[in-house]
Amino acid sequence: MVGGQEQVGVWKAGWIRRGWGEGAPLLRKSFDLDKGVSRATAHVTALGVCELRLNGRKVGEDHLLPGWTDYRKRVYFHSYDVTERLHEGGNVLGGIVAPGWFAGYFGPFGDKGYYGHDAWFSVELVIEYLDGSSASICSDSSWKSVEGPILEADLLMGETYDARKEIDGWDRPGFDDAGWFPVSLLDAHERLPETIESYPGKPVHTVAELPAIGRSEPKPGTYVFNLGQNMVGVARLKIDVPAGTEVVMKHGEMLNPDGTVYTENLRSAKAIDRYIAKGGGEEVWQPRFTFHGFQYVEVSGLPSKPEPDAVTGVAWMSALQETSTFECSNEKVNQLFSNIRWGFRGNYIDVPTDCPQRDERLGWTGDTQMFIRSATYLADIRPFYEKWLVDLHDAQHANGGYPDMAPFMGRLGFASAAWADAGIICPYVLWQAYGATGFIRPWWTQMKKFMELIGSDDNRHNGPDAESYGDWLHFNSETPTRLIGLAYRAYDAQLMAEMAAALDAADDVAHFMNEARRGKALFRDALFEGAEIAVKTQTACALSIAMDLLDGDDLEKAKQGLVQSLEEHNGYLSTGFVGTGYLCPALTKAGRPDLAVQLLLNEEHPSWLYAVNQGATTIWERWNSWTEENGFGDVGMNSFNHYAFGSVCEWMFESLAGIKPGAPGFQTLEVAPCLTDRFDFVKASFDSLQGRVSIHWKKADAGFEIELETPVPATARLPFLTERVPAGRHLFKVLPDDEETCLLNSVAPQAILA
């Protein structure tokens, strides 16, 4: 991909498709070059998803181009340097286009063709010649098209490929396209996106290939391949069968009691791929224009038992640089971290989705803001959110309300507490993680408009008739919707005051500090009845503490209420999507990190390790998505890859390991590990923008030893010691009982490098 924001001025290329038919048609244009080329750049996009081809090969390594946006407002193009792919004489530019998010099924409401009824392809090849002249080859009425081997292609339903219909050489010079048909051109009166611009994010790539670790035959002729990991992407098929054999691949995350693939939780998403063989030897096929969330692939239609390597999982994700490691002495916690990481991978496919397998896969704003701080540790998510913040603000309501999901799909609401607050929290977290006010400044006016809305007397977010999803999927412990809204209202105002200071907007600082005080007072009035807390749910108390909404005796009562609630639940959590991410940080802040550690290590449900004990390889949507007593949970909403409860990852880095930024962008570091004899050791590393931060603490013969490596000055807050240390490697010793901690050794960065 060409680096930076490639500019092409006004989009010149036409939008083309085959005149009729389903599936993913083949589109081609032959052209001749009679002089040397100094540079050639292809700019490609689609209303749908597409693949660009040039002289017999795919251009780039990206999947599902151009990605998902609100196509009514904008669509992105991707740019590729194809200079080395052109040659003098004949050349062929080709394209394949499928419905994708634009014209296919998506969402839980049975929508098909929400943005449009047909998929359209558009490309411009800009050629600069050695003699200084230039030319463009654009998609237009001169292109030709024909039905290809992809008979059906849908993100939710799956892909059908008839290899007998392959057309050898169709995208190479010398091919005779006399029997092909003229393309249809999008009429000028059809509504086009308001904006066509360069893609700002990272496109979807293959990030791993997973060979099957097991193969079973639960019933005659039906074979189930276990990939050992719940993943997102496609399954590659390798077979040698007679021509016309139709192989059906069904995808699922779990197995039924009889060993077949469980698909009832997919709702209307079929997630079935079909391959019709051409025969004559080994055939290898991988779908292009669909994706699934699955661990198991059920294969049927084969005339004989397949080879163990007949199915390989090909995992897709937006191509983000992963930035962290985590390891500890408890293998179940290590598996939990792996589950969190794989849930992140599977749900960061162009937009931050809620789940990747069923008929939903939407950019829910609540899930996004609840997990984003954890995501900043897992990968460099800057380009991903540069793109998604555009989606979010494209979807913002005229009254300032942020939507429940972005890109918006015309349903559900705006300004739902904890969901709409993504418009404030996501820019704030990105600024804190990367030190860039560029995540704030472009949206500041719109962020203030949202704050004006939720500060009004009667609003959906926190007003008397507040409507929201509440503490979604809590475990028998409901927190009033309005109380959650009031907590976020005050918290948002605090964050806005901090961001205003970073923008040198003094008037806004004063305004939002006042709004924060007002919001805290309203929250306190709703939480308390007289001098006592009226709502003692874990979520209510955790929000109070973690968001700094109370002071003095009120704060102490919230701390006591949180501990009391845990005791009432036998030391187990009862929080849902809203409360879970704040629960362990609140306990640590309340001086009870021991209880946070206990929550992490609990193994009955509801707990993180319960799912681990059941063999989970990603985070479940529900604490009881599957239980030994009742089997599968509510099939109407039961994802086994849903990252919201994985928000504990933030606490695992910042408190259990003990590394978090002391200033935006990790210009300084705060080190405060949760030293506990429940672990023999904890090791973590994070590649900040300043360099790698790593910490390793372990139990010693007496007390603990801590090895810290930091690229920036750090403040170590350890038992009985607060020590400011420079960049470098430092070894601390924490002795038991006698209230002594010492800095044993420090090594400057230069010495480390030497």
CATH number for position 226: 2.60.120.260
Cβ neighbours for 158, distance < 8 A, ≥ 6 positions apart: 152, 270, 271, 272, 273, 274, 287, 290, 292
CB atoms within 10 A of CB 89: 10
Cβ neighbours for 393, distance < 8 A, ≥ 6 positions apart: 423, 443, 446
Q: Is residue 510 part of a domain?
A: yes
Residue among 253, 621, 654, 709 flagged as catalytic: 621
Specify whether 439 is located in the same domain as 381: yes
Specify whether 630 is located in the same domain as 594: yes
Question: What is the average pLDDT across 157-177?
Answer: 98
The Cα angle at residue 217 between residues 211 and 219, in degrees rounded to 5? 145
pLDDT band of residue 138 (cuts 50, 70, 90) is very high
pLDDT band of residue 3 (cuts 50, 70, 90) is very low
**Residue 392 sits in a domain of what CATH number?**
1.50.10.10
**What is the pLDDT, as a whole number, of residue 111?**
75
| Better pLDDT: 749 or 644 | 644
The Cα angle at residue 257 between residues 251 and 259, in degrees rounded to 5? 50
Q: Per-residue pLDDT for 368 more than 50?
A: yes
Q: Per-residue pLDDT for 538 more than 70?
A: yes
Label residue 371 exposed, middle or buried (CB < 10 Å: 0-12, 13-18, 19+).
buried
The answer to whether the CB of 488 falls within 8 A of the CB of 459 is: no
Q: Residue 304 corresponds to which tokens in the numbers above?
A: 């004989």
Q: Which residue among 201, 216, 235 closes a domain?
A: 201
5-47 tens-digit pLDDT: 444 568 999 999 997 777 999 999 999 999 999 999 999 999 9
Specify whether 306 is located in the same domain as 346: no
**What is the pLDDT, as a whole number, of residue 4?**
38
Specify whether 170 is located in the same domain as 305: no
3-state SS record for 433-444? HHCCHHHCHHHH
**What is the pLDDT, as a whole number, of residue 8?**
52
- DSSP strand E in 271-369: where? 272-276, 283-285, 292-300, 311-318, 324-328, 348-349, 351-352
Q: Which of 650-659, 729-738, 744-753 has the lowest mean pLDDT?
A: 744-753
The answer to whether the CB of 51 falls within 8 A of the CB of 96 is: yes
Where helices occur in 614-683 by DSSP H, the ranges are 648-651
Cβ neighbours for 194, distance < 8 A, ≥ 6 positions apart: 72, 73, 74
Q: Is residue 209 part of a domain?
A: yes
Specify whether 158 is located in the same domain as 231: no
Q: Per-residue pLDDT for 750 more than 60?
A: no
3-state SS record for 576-597? CHHHHHHHHHHHHHCCCHHHHH
554-572 tens-digit pLDDT: 999 999 999 999 999 999 9
Helix (H) / strand (E) containing 421: none
| 134-to-129, 398, 499, 682, 727 alpha-carbon distances in Å | 6, 44, 47, 59, 52
Nearest to 368 by CA among 415, 422, 409, 404: 422
Q: Is residue 336 part of a domain?
A: yes
Q: Residue 556 corresponds to which tokens in the numbers above?
A: 């102490």
Q: Is residue 578 part of a domain?
A: yes
Q: How many domains does the chain have?
A: 4
DSSP bridge partners of 112 = 105
Q: Which residue among 274, 293, 318 closes a domain?
A: 318
Specify whether 365 is located in the same domain as 271: no
Specify whether 629 is located in the same domain as 673: no
Residue among 124, 298, 360, 709 flagged as catalytic: 360
Q: Is residue 393 part of a domain?
A: yes
Cβ neighbours for 530, distance < 8 A, ≥ 6 positions apart: none
Q: Is residue 696 part of a domain?
A: yes
Specify whether 176 is located in the same domain as 222: no
Question: What is the average pLDDT across 683-711?
Answer: 96
The answer to whether the CB of 660 falls within 8 A of the CB of 654 is: yes
For 281, left (φ over 0), alpha (ψ -120 to 50), or beta? Answer: left
Specify whether 552 is located in the same domain as 506: yes
610-664 tens-digit pLDDT: 999 999 999 999 999 999 899 999 988 999 999 999 999 999 999 999 999 999 9
Q: Which residue among 201, 229, 254 closes a domain?
A: 201
Question: What is the average pLDDT across 580-584?
Answer: 98
**Residue 745 sits in a domain of what CATH number?**
2.60.420.10
**What is the pLDDT, as a whole number, of residue 738?**
61
Pairing outcome for strands 691-699 and 681-688: antiparallel
AA letter at 750: Q
Specify whether 523 is located in the same domain as 596: yes
Specify whether 646 is located in the same domain as 672: no
Specify whether 300 is located in the same domain as 188: no
**What is the pLDDT, as a whole number, of residue 754?**
38
Domain residues for the domain of 671 are 659-753
Confirm whether 621 is a catalytic residue.
yes
83-132 tens-digit pLDDT: 999 999 999 999 999 999 999 998 887 778 889 999 999 999 999 999 99
AA letter at 744: L
